[in-house]
Amino acid sequence: MLNFSKEQIKIKIGDMSMGGQPGESPTVLFGTVFYGKKYIDHSPEAMEEIDGFIATQEELSQMTGNPGICDIFIGSEEQIETRLSFVLDRVPENRPICVDVPESELRAKVLDHAGEIGVSKRLIYNSLNLGLEEMEKEALAANPPGCAIVLGYNPKNMSTDGRMEILENGAGLLDQGLLDIAKEANIPNMIIDTGATPFDHNTAETIRSIPVMKNKWGLPAGCAIHNTVESWLWMKDYRKTHREAYLTCDVGANALPVMMGADYCVYGPMRNAGQIFPFIAMVDKFIAEGGEDYFGIEIPENHPKRRLK
């Protein structure tokens, strides 16, 4: 539906393409694995479950054309090797993998390990953010990942302008903007995460930021809007007796950023792949038709618009 005056950068990592004008590429869908207590000790049952999730996501990805990326949650050093090798053994060999690591020191260790096993170029780094520390900077310089998700979370100012500031100049919290830090580390590809916030914390700015940032920098952008739904206080109670209503909101929320031009969604637990892939494929069909009919966008053959008649 939208078309940006700023030229839109399209990135390609392995067999995954992302970005461009709305409709040019199917929305990339990141499903998270290994997040949760039951996966901590890597029990055979838990691993079997994840094996099934990855297979289902891949099958849906092939069917719809929406690239499915494994977002691997890593919460401790001991988990790095097991989790990376488990996923790498199960996804196509030219498919990027995403590492979702909340702690700076641990992110540095993940980068080192990825360098050692030779998968840095396949790595989507989630995320380069305000929590960055010196050790992480050094690790980034030594083993730059193929792509960094750059997080526009600014606790001082959650408006769109505030989110842009942290990316552009560090908002007084960092010496330089996160985009420059990524460039200096020679990270070849960057994608923006506008940083989902809970309701009553400038939530809508998460969505507003997407077209504004895309029109400013031309970089692929998206967010993990399921986090807003997950933190919705009223829903926390309601979902106890109305699980289907929660799932509807959880999945449906992803239409908001995509309609505003988002190139990817981090959709939460990969167990929801069965709901999210057909849903986003449908949204992509709307967007692609709008782009093709009005702006003359060329829709690729692998797009849900072409695959799912």
Partner 1 sequence: MYPWRGEYTIGNPNSSVSIVTLASIIDFPEEKVAIWGHMKTENLGIEKVVANVISNPNIRILILCGEEVRGHRSGHSLLSLHSKGIDDNGRISGAKGAVPFIENIDEEAIERFRQQIEIVNMIDITDKVEIMKVVEEQLAIDHEPFGEPYIVELVDNKNGDRPSVKRLTGKIGFHKDLILDPFLELEQMPVEES
Residues found near partner 1 in the complex (CB under 8 A): 3, 5-7, 9, 35, 37, 73, 75, 101-103, 105, 129-131, 153, 155-160, 172-173, 198, 200-202, 208, 211-212, 215-216, 218, 231, 233, 236, 294-295
Distance CA(221)–CA(257), nearest Å, equals 9
Nearer to partner 1, 62 or 157 (CB): 157
Distance CA(85)–CA(270), nearest Å, equals 18
Angle at 87 between CA 86 and CA 89, to 5 degrees: 70
Nearer to partner 1, 158 or 281 (CB): 158
C-beta of 219: minimal distance to partner 1 in Å?
A: 9
> Residue 81: which of 105, 114, 108, 107 has the closest Cα?
114
Nearer to partner 1, 215 or 275 (CB): 215
Q: Directed axis angle between helix 243-252 and helix 273-295, to 10°? A: 30
Nearer to partner 1, 92 or 102 (CB): 102
C-beta of 281: minimal distance to partner 1 in Å?
A: 26
Nearer to partner 1, 199 or 286 (CB): 199
Instruction: Provide the token pair at 250.
Output: 């959880």
Nearer to partner 1, 87 or 281 (CB): 87
Distance CA(238)–CA(260), nearest Å, equals 28
C-beta of 1: minimal distance to partner 1 in Å?
A: 11
Element at 237 (helix H, strand E): helix 233-241
Query: What is the phi/psi pair of residue 217, to 5°?
Result: -110, -20
Q: Are 196 and 225 in contact (CB under 8 A)?
A: yes
> Residue 269: which of 91, 31, 3, 96 has the closest Cα?
31
Instruction: Provide the token pair at 36.
Output: 């949760």
C-beta of 277: minimal distance to partner 1 in Å?
A: 26
C-beta of 296: minimal distance to partner 1 in Å?
A: 9
C-beta of 85: minimal distance to partner 1 in Å?
A: 20
Place of tokens 């050093």: 77
